[in-house]
Amino acid sequence: MSIEGKTVLVTGGTGGIGKETARGLAALGARVILVGRDRDRAEAAARELGAGAEACTADLSALAGLRALAAEVSARHDRLDVLVNNLGGMTAPRTLTPDGVETTFAANVLAPYTLTCLLLPLLRAAPAARVVNLTGGIPGGPFDPANLQGEKRYLGWTFSQYNHAKTAVMAMSRRFAAVTGVAVNVAYPGHAYTPGNRATTAAAFPYAYRPLVPVIRFLGPRLLNDLAKPARSSIYLASSPEMEGVTGVYVNAKVERAPWPATVLDERNCDAVWNLCARLADVTPEPAAP
């Protein structure tokens, strides 16, 4: 599949790695739909990308926002070739969304789950649709399927709810790849200093690391300001002809295929994530036609 002329939706596409992903795909000829929360920022980003880029706004940490976005995109388009579920990040201290869902789980796991389910008819209308989900942190570390929303413990950045959520999105992606018939793969972007990092408060870090926060704030914009590099893995999964018909794989920041962590291969963990998402979103994907 050439990405030229294909319709691609990028969540978190108005800033950070998502905007660079959208820019890279637009440069390859894709018609990109960018999603952010702020109308002016989204329209400015779409103008910057040119090439027929479209702006949508929705708060994707809320189920109402996800449903509204899916309805808007389904009304405007009759097919979707690529969905890049790029939105993600860390919230600390622990908060709940208006739906009563822990916010980090909502943005990193429930949002891609719900959006993929709701846009599945549009994806299936495309000849060779692809879904790209983003991982991050240190996925594959300790994982507790009974603590998916940090109900028992909610730790800072390292060994955190963020790592937990990124492991969960990998487990969920494997299950999507198995049941939907659409290509669903996972990208690890690598590190960049983005709006999300800038907004992360010291409360997200374990106590021992908090004195380092000013150092990170000083060095981050100087050492990690190349956003094009971390966009490569998503762009590759979204557009590379090598990925034609490939599903259920994970690529690292070097854009190489990497093994799934053992926690992600554990079907009990996949079940826990899948069942929780299905219950919270109150939607499940229609299985692939036999």
CA distance 230 to 135: 12
Determine, following the binding rule CB under 6 A, whether residue 191 of this chain makes contact with ligand NAP: yes
Residues facing residue 96 across a β-bridge: 102
Q: Which two tokens stand for residue 33?
A: 């739909």
Residue (87 or 272) nearer to ligand NAP, CB: 87
Instruction: Confirm whether 207 is a catalytic residue.
Output: no
Stretch that binds ligand NAP, among 115-123, 175-183, 192-200, 261-269 (CB under 6 A): 192-200
Determine, following the binding rule CB under 6 A, whether residue 150 of this chain makes contact with ligand NAP: no
Determine, following the binding rule CB under 6 A, whether residue 24 of this chain makes contact with ligand NAP: no
Residue (124 or 166) nearer to ligand NAP, CB: 166
By CB under 6 A, what part of segment 63-92 binds ligand NAP?
86-89
Residue 240 to residues 20, 124, 130, 235, 237: CA-CA distances in angstroms?
A: 16, 19, 11, 8, 6
Instruction: Write the DSSP assignment of 52-90 as a string of letters.
Output: T-EEEE--TTSHHHHHHHHHHHHHH-S--SEEEE-----
- Which position among 134, 170, 171, 238 is part of the footprint of ligand NAP (CB under 6 A)? 134
Residue (87 or 182) nearer to ligand NAP, CB: 87
Q: How far is the CB of 75 from ligand NAP (least distance, A)?
A: 19
CA distance 245 to 238: 12
HSE-up of residue 70 (Cα within 13 Å, Cβ side): 22
Kindly report the number of other CB atoms within 10 A of residue 21's CB atom: 31
Question: How many residues sit in the footprint of ligand NAP (CB under 6 A)?
Answer: 28
Determine, following the binding rule CB under 6 A, whether residue 195 of this chain makes contact with ligand NAP: yes
Select from 247, 261, 89 the least CA-distant residue to 173.
247
- Which position among 112, 150, 196, 285 is part of the footprint of ligand NAP (CB under 6 A)? 196
Determine, following the binding rule CB under 6 A, whether residue 41 of this chain makes contact with ligand NAP: yes
Residue (91 or 247) nearer to ligand NAP, CB: 91
Give the N- to C-terminal CA distance of the chain in Å, as an integer.
23
Determine, following the binding rule CB under 6 A, whether residue 261 of this chain makes contact with ligand NAP: no
Give the per-residue SS3 of 171-211. Answer: HHHHHHHHHHCCEEEEECCCCCCCHHHHHCCHHHCCHHHHH
| Strand, coil or helix: 251 | strand
Question: Which listed residue (162, 188, 193, 236) is catalytic?
Answer: 162
Determine, following the binding rule CB under 6 A, whether residue 194 of this chain makes contact with ligand NAP: yes
Residue (45 or 243) nearer to ligand NAP, CB: 45
Residue (89 or 145) nearer to ligand NAP, CB: 89
Determine, following the binding rule CB under 6 A, whether residue 60 of this chain makes contact with ligand NAP: yes
* Binding interface with ligand NAP (CB under 6 A): 12-18, 36-38, 41, 59-61, 86-89, 107, 134, 136, 189, 191-192, 194-197
Active site residue ranges = 162
